Structure 1
Amino acid sequence: MRLLLRVLAPLFGLLVAVAGLALVVETVTAWVAPSSSPLVVPWPAWRTAVEGLTWQSGSVRVAAVVVGVIGLFVLLIALLARRHDVFLADPVPEVTVTTSPRSLARAVGHEVRSHDDVVSASVVASSSKITVKAATLDPAEGVRAAVRDRVEQMLVRLPLARRPRVAVSVTTTKGVK
């Protein structure tokens, strides 16, 4: 989503800059030579077309709906593209400390993989939840409790401002032990 916003923002800015430049050029042309035809934008023809429109006209309502939908689309993209930081306890009131969900997942994953009975693990983290999926050669239930305790102990050591929920699932894989 952030990639889409990074592409749309410069395009929208370029569109506004071109429209502003056209407005300046047309305004200066109208001041300097009021009797000459428009330089870039055919605004006299547009003005005569728009003079007959009212707020009840179908084309005005369609244009309003289209502009509203585009605005809501851009707003939705901007809201979804925000950073999803994990806040840590502030050392002093003037300092805010954050980490990325990826860094938190990497730290938890390293801790889970260091367990002797875990063969492989994947971790997904956010500020509200950490999901651990691990594989083991031993019975899954015993390893699940050990992995969950290990993750909980690690979260106690981290200075997280808000403690995320932990979900652990362990599957038993077949292999030579």
Structure 2
Amino acid sequence: MRLLLRVLAPLFALLLAVVGLGIVVETVTLWVAPAASPLVVPWPSWRAAVEGLTWQSGSVRAVAIVVGVVGLFVLLLGLVARRHDVYLADPVPEVTVTTSPRSLARAVGHDVRSHDDVVSASVVASAKKITVKAATLDPAEEVRASLRERVDETLLRLPLARRPRVAVSVTTTKGVK
């Protein structure tokens, strides 16, 4: 979502800049040479078309609905694309300490991968939940219990303000001997 927002924001800004520049050019052209106006935008014909419209016109209502839907889409996109920080315990009341979910996943993943029985592992973290998926050559249930303990120990070492739920799944893979 953040990538989409990073693409849309400059496009909207460019669109507004072009519209603003067009308005300035048309205004200056009208002031300097009224006979040469309009330069780019056919605003006299647009003005004549708009003069006959009222708030009850179907086209006015359709444009209002489209603008409202686009505005709502942009608002929702901005709300969804916000940063999802993981809050840590504040050292003093005036200081707020956060980390990224990626950093939390990296810390947990490092401890999970350092386990002797783990062949590979992936960790996804958020402020509410940490999901660990690991592969092992040994029986999965034994490794799952020890990995769960290891993740719990890692979370106890970290000064998290709120402890996330933990889900650990382990699969047994066939190794090459």
The letter of the residue matching 1:38 is P
Query: For residues 40-55 of structure 1, what are the structure 2 equivalents within 5 Å?
Result: 40-55=40-55
Identity over the aligned pairs, expressed in percent?
84
The count of residues paired between Structure 1 and Structure 2 equals: 177
Structure 2: gaps of 5 or more residues:
none
Say which is worse superposed, 33-42 or 126-135, in terms of deviation: 33-42
1:125 aligns to what? 125
RMSD: 1.8
TM-score, normalized by length of structure 2? 0.90
The reply on whether 1:14 has 2:2 as its aligned counterpart is no
Structure 1: distance between partners of 2:118 and 2:21? 63
SS at match of 2:175: coil
2:39 aligns to what? 39
Structure 1: distance between partners of 2:23 and 2:37? 15
2:167 aligns to what? 167
Cα shift readout 1:81-106 (whole Å, capped 9, x = no counterpart)? 21122111222233222211111111
Residue 152 of structure 1 deviates from its aligned partner by 0.6
Residue 166 of structure 1 deviates from its aligned partner by 0.2
Cα shift readout 1:60-83 (whole Å, capped 9, x = no counterpart)? 122112212221222222122211
The reply on whether 1:158 has 2:164 as its aligned counterpart is no
Say which is worse superposed, 38-47 or 103-112, in terms of deviation: 38-47
The letter of the residue matching 1:75 is L
The letter of the residue matching 1:37 is S
SS at match of 1:79: helix
Structure 1: distance between partners of 2:130 and 2:173? 22
Say which is worse superposed, 86-95 or 107-116, in terms of deviation: 86-95
The letter of the residue matching 1:89 is A
The reply on whether 1:3 has 2:7 as its aligned counterpart is no
Structure 2: distance between partners of 1:176 and 1:36? 82
Say which is worse superposed, 20-29 or 33-42, in terms of deviation: 33-42
